[in-house]
A and B are shown apart, each in its own frame.
Chain A
Amino acid sequence: MTHIINLSRRDLLKAGAGVSALVLGMHAGLREFPVAQAAEGASFEPNVYLGIDETGLVTIVAHRSEMGTGIRTGLPMVLADELEADWSRVKVLQANGDPKYGDQNTDGSRSMRQFYQTMRVAGATARQMLEDAAALTWHVDPNECHARNHAVVHTPTGRQLPFGDLVKLAAGLPVPSDDHISLHFKSPQARRYVGKPVPIVDLHDIVRGQAKYGIDTVLPGMKYASIERCPVYGGKVRSFDSKAALAVPGVEQVVEVPATPAPSGFNPLGGIAVIANSTWAAQQGRLQLKIDWDFGANAGYDTTSYRKELEATAQKAGRVVRAEGDVDGALQSAAKRVSADYFVPHYSHAPMEVPAAAARVENSKCEVWAPSQNPQGARTTVADVLSLKESDVTIHTTLLGGAFGRKSKHDFIAEAAWLAQKIGAPVKVTWTREDDIQHDYFHAICAQHIEAGLDGNGAATAWLHRTVFPPIEATFQPSVTYGTAGELQQGFMDVPYAIANVRCENGPAQNHVRIGWYRSVFNVPHAFAVCSFADELAAAAGRDPVEYLRELIGPARIIDLRAIGVDYPNYGAPLDQYPIDTARLHGVLDLAVANSGWGEALPQRHGRGVAVHRSFLTYVAVVAHVAIGNDGQIAIPRIDMAVDCGLVVNPDRVRSQFEGAAIMAISNALYSNITAKDGRIEQSNFTDYDVARTDITPETHVHIVESSAPPAGVGEPGVPPTAPAICNAIFAATGKRIRALPIDPSELKST
């Protein structure tokens, strides 16, 4: 429950001199409802602020990080809508990292789900106080006063007062309680912005080169740093010679950053930092460093042999995370048995803005400017690494030039802060692209084995799925080798097929690099395997893939995994509001199929493939159309994506997230591949770590299901089903099954 407090006299939004403002703070879980007077000097930890000043300017604090999803526009839209504010008079202010805002960890596609209601309450509360203020001014019944586009109107007489004129009075009024009796929300029909395509607030700055990202931070007297890190995870400096580096013009100092032993978590990896008067000089100095490394325990990491280990583990019984019926018996008595093994490599996030942060430490206080997905987490890590109190650390969240999970790890931010403290001057650390690709928190490499039994009609009677990957938890805790429920819920234990006998097992794997969450996380390998295997079953049964998939999903029902003893986290959301609803899987499947030309004739070596998947509480179906050249080259003329993410706040940003997800999934499917040899990552830059470019871009159609269900994830769910839809299309076009990514076009040559 969200409670609201009137903060008008606390000067939190620093209105201009002489301008009074109505300022509301909200706090989740606070028991009392202080009125404005009581609020003065009261101590509480609000999680979001709305301010309106006497000029009518509405300031909304965006407390979640903007990495390209449009959340910095979307959440303020919800508030402004309930407030009846004129969007052109709304200013969005980015919050620093501070627990008073509540959860700021912008990951897991959950900002809208978690804060939609909070924003509505904030807007409705302020609107009602403005309406009450107008009623008092006119000596009329508040029920006759209605906010309309930045003014309150007395409906019987048509009199109006602009918001700005009401601020002073409203600021002294009691706050209506959030009990749905005192607080009235607008009807869906009256929505002004929610459900409409609203341009992002940073659009004009971006196209004029004025938007500021972390890498753009400039501080007075700032130095530039570039850090050479051990090529092997967990290694450290034995000795180093900085003479030649110091001779490079512009280089000022060379500093050893202490290594954090593995598992290094969010702490700096350590290494040798070159401090200079420009980024270029620091990078040039780095080239002259002579470092003798102790490579440590991971110096033998080799992804070719490691893959074989994972694949061998996937052949053996693992730890059971879901079990229904008698899988072994059903497999034995099956009319037909089908099995397949799948592999997905490490990926690197490679956001276009490399990790970069600037910091200043003065009088035992640290200020950081950084593109952080999780500014509160960054604050904790920085305070820890610098031995400062958290309250003495300020994290200014800049715009993020892409993130995809990379920037919820604070190692690069802690590096800047540590160096600023060490050298006693403001400093900006900018990673090179090589640093980024070689020292990432990599997407987990993953091997899977699936077996199914089919009856005489081709219907599936048994499903055995094993997944093996180095878990993310191993980046933080020593000796973790099994996945957590949070990892295994992602397209694995939640397989939504109507099969009587199901067993899902997880095998152990040791990590040798930092593993981290990467857009859609374990849904990427799991959806690839599950959605590909569904297509394999359709082929084994001699059926149309869409028809077969419909039967596999089975009747419309709610799947209650907890009722069958599965430790299913449901992305942290309540199951009553966000159940696994197969009717919605059917809904998106039907929508994608209906719009994609499924079943219509195609030229030779063209094919369509389908996949449907629920992740981050959102249902997505993809139909991909591919065309395979005789030389094996892949073209993707068209992709249709159907999306049911519940209530849609900004349809244009939902579309753009799915368009972008299609591109990222194409990178995963066709191009990207991180390999290691002798503990070192073999790729270094976009020259050898390939990502999708405009030439492979499909005509992308995003079909959105109209829904009043609670809002669900948008940023990630488009990725998982896209790669298997492409692979299934390749099978339709060529008869070749893709079971390992990235796809090798040489295997698709016509013979």
Chain B
Amino acid sequence: MPRISINGVAHDIDADPQMPLLWVIRDILGMTGTKFGCGVGACGACTVHIDGSATRSCMTALADVAGHEVTTIEGLSADGSHPVQQAWVAHNVPQCGYCQAGQIMQAADLMKQTPNPSEQQIIDAMSGNICRCGTYQRIRAAITAATDLHASTQSSSKAR
């Protein structure tokens, strides 16, 4: 029985090892923050972090995450205080909100890998995430703001 760790909690999952992590999270563990959008890796709605890297959970088999650490939107921060979540709130990014968990997880990964992304780096990192409502303008602004926020908290903690 594959054992996986989600948001720091270990679960033994009794399911087809080929079942995509997305459906394990949603149907077996009942955590619905991670969304289904396409099932083929084309929309980013299902994005989670595996060992810290943004990954499409619809394309990741349960068997492949055994022994790895999965973070979902519910585990990104305890209280919505991750700089990306804060920037999303400050820019009123969501419309329907459905794609936003995936967008936020993708953006959080970008910020970690590339603390000061250029416009083109933001585009490259975020082009796999579809928002049918069309919140891209605000997502871009929020990411820029979040990286600034992140940079300023880092430099102030360094100063201390």
- Say whether, besides A202-B97, A204-B89, A401-B98, A692 and B123 are in contact (CB < 8 Å): no
Residues of B within 8 A of A218 (CB): 30, 32
Q: Are B96 and A693 in contact (CB under 8 A)?
A: no
The answer, yes or no, to whether A350 is at the interface (CB within 8 Å) is yes
Q: Are B36 and A67 in contact (CB under 8 A)?
A: no
Q: Which of A206, A224, A284, A662 contacts B94 (CB 8 A)?
A: A206
Residues of A within 8 A of B20 (CB): 280
CB distance from A373 to the nearest CB of B (A): 12
- Say whether, besides A199-B92, A204-B89, A209-B74, A686 and B134 are in contact (CB < 8 Å): no
Q: Are B89 and A686 in contact (CB under 8 A)?
A: no
CA distance A189 to B42 in the complex (A): 49
Q: Which of A278, A350, A697, A698 contacts B15 (CB 8 A)?
A: A278
The answer, yes or no, to whether A257 is at the interface (CB within 8 Å) is no
- Say whether, besides A203-B92, A687-B42, A211 and B132 are in contact (CB < 8 Å): no
Q: Are B32 and A354 in contact (CB under 8 A)?
A: no
Q: Are B92 and A197 in contact (CB under 8 A)?
A: yes
Q: Which of A306-314, A556-564, A652-660 contacts B (4 or more CB under 8 A)?
A: A652-660
- Say whether, besides A280-B16, A401-B97, A695 and B37 are in contact (CB < 8 Å): no
Q: Are B137 and A700 in contact (CB under 8 A)?
A: yes
CA distance A432 to B43 in the complex (A): 13
Q: Which of A215, A661, A685, A692 contacts B38 (CB 8 A)?
A: A685
Closest to B84 in A: A207
CA distance A457 to B135 in the complex (A): 44
The answer, yes or no, to whether A279 is at the interface (CB within 8 Å) is yes
Cβ proximity bits B130-144 to A, threshold 8 Å, 1 near / 0 not: 111111111110000
Residues of B within 8 A of A249 (CB): 16
CB distance from A48 to the nearest CB of B (A): 23
Q: Are B92 and A659 in contact (CB under 8 A)?
A: no
CA distance A692 to B38 in the complex (A): 15
- Say whether, besides A208-B73, A399-B96, A401-B98, A661 and B80 are in contact (CB < 8 Å): no
Scan residues 29-66 of chain A and give those whose CB is less than 8 A from a CB of chain B: 66
Describe B's contact surface by its main secondary structure: loop
CA distance A685 to B130 in the complex (A): 12
Q: Which of A202, A652, A687 contacts B40 (CB 8 A)?
A: A687
- Say whether, besides A209-B73, A352-B43, A430-B36, A691 and B19 are in contact (CB < 8 Å): no
Residues of B within 8 A of A404 (CB): 132
A351, A399, A693 — which one has the most chain B CB atoms within 10 A of its CB? A693
The answer, yes or no, to whether B127 is at the interface (CB within 8 Å) is yes
Residues of A within 8 A of B140 (CB): 694, 697
The answer, yes or no, to whether A88 is at the interface (CB within 8 Å) is no
The answer, yes or no, to whether A400 is at the interface (CB within 8 Å) is yes
Residues of A within 8 A of B43 (CB): 352, 433, 686
Interface size for A (C-beta < 8 A) is 67
CA distance A8 to B47 in the complex (A): 47
The answer, yes or no, to whether B56 is at the interface (CB within 8 Å) is no
Closest to B33 in A: A209
Closest to A280 in B: B23
- Say whether, besides A278-B27, A280-B19, A694-B123, A68 and B136 are in contact (CB < 8 Å): no
Cβ proximity bits B21-42 to A, threshold 8 Å, 1 near / 0 not: 0010011101011111111101
Cβ proximity bits A687-712 to B, threshold 8 Å, 1 near / 0 not: 10001111101111000000000000
Q: Are A694 and B85 in contact (CB under 8 A)?
A: no
Q: Which of B27, B32, B128, B132 contacts A352 (CB 8 A)?
A: B132
Residues of A within 8 A of B100 (CB): 206-207
- Say whether, besides A280-B19, A433-B39, A695-B123, A213 and B92 are in contact (CB < 8 Å): no
Residues of B within 8 A of A693 (CB): 127-130, 136
CB distance from A187 to the nearest CB of B (A): 28
Scan residues 399-445 of chain A and give those whose CB is less than 8 A from a CB of chain B: 399-404, 430, 432-433
Cβ proximity bits B86-100 to A, threshold 8 Å, 1 near / 0 not: 001100111111111
The answer, yes or no, to whether B126 is at the interface (CB within 8 Å) is yes
Q: Are A694 and B28 in contact (CB under 8 A)?
A: no
CB distance from A689 to the nearest CB of B (A): 10
CA distance A243 to B87 in the complex (A): 52
- Say whether, besides A279-B26, A432-B39, A199 and B98 are in contact (CB < 8 Å): no
Q: Which of B27, B36, B80 contacts A208 (CB 8 A)?
A: B80
CB distance from B47 to the nearest CB of A (A): 11
CA distance A199 to B88 in the complex (A): 11
CA distance A352 to B72 in the complex (A): 18
CA distance A664 to B15 in the complex (A): 39
CB distance from A70 to the nearest CB of B (A): 8
The answer, yes or no, to whether B65 is at the interface (CB within 8 Å) is no
CB distance from A200 to the nearest CB of B (A): 7
CA distance A696 to B160 in the complex (A): 42
Residues of B within 8 A of A697 (CB): 136-137, 140
Q: Are A694 and B96 in contact (CB under 8 A)?
A: no
Q: Are B134 and A215 in contact (CB under 8 A)?
A: no
The answer, yes or no, to whether A468 is at the interface (CB within 8 Å) is no
CA distance A692 to B136 in the complex (A): 10
Q: Are A660 and B36 in contact (CB under 8 A)?
A: no
Scan residues 59-117 of chain B and give those whose CB is less than 8 A from a CB of chain A: 72-74, 76-77, 79-80, 85, 88-89, 92-101, 104
CA distance A249 to B17 in the complex (A): 11
B27, B94, B98 — which one has the most chain A CB atoms within 10 A of its CB? B98
The answer, yes or no, to whether A216 is at the interface (CB within 8 Å) is yes
CA distance A211 to B96 in the complex (A): 10
Cβ proximity bits A629-665 to B, threshold 8 Å, 1 near / 0 not: 0000000000000000000000010001101111110
A-B contacts besides A218-B30, A353-B37, A402-B133, 15 pairs, CB < 8 Å:
A207-B88, A209-B101, A278-B28, A279-B36, A284-B16, A350-B132, A352-B99, A352-B130, A352-B133, A401-B96, A659-B138, A694-B123, A694-B127, A694-B139, A697-B140
Q: Give chain A's interface residues, CB within 8 Å of chain B.
A: 66-70, 197, 199-200, 202-213, 215-216, 218, 224, 249-250, 278-281, 283-284, 350-354, 399-404, 430, 432-433, 652, 656-657, 659-664, 685-687, 691-695, 697-700
A-B contact pairs, 6 of them (CB 8 A): A207-B89, A280-B23, A354-B36, A663-B133, A694-B122, A695-B127
The 7 closest A-B CB pairs, nearest first, are A209-B33, A663-B134, A401-B98, A68-B96, A209-B73, A660-B134, A206-B97
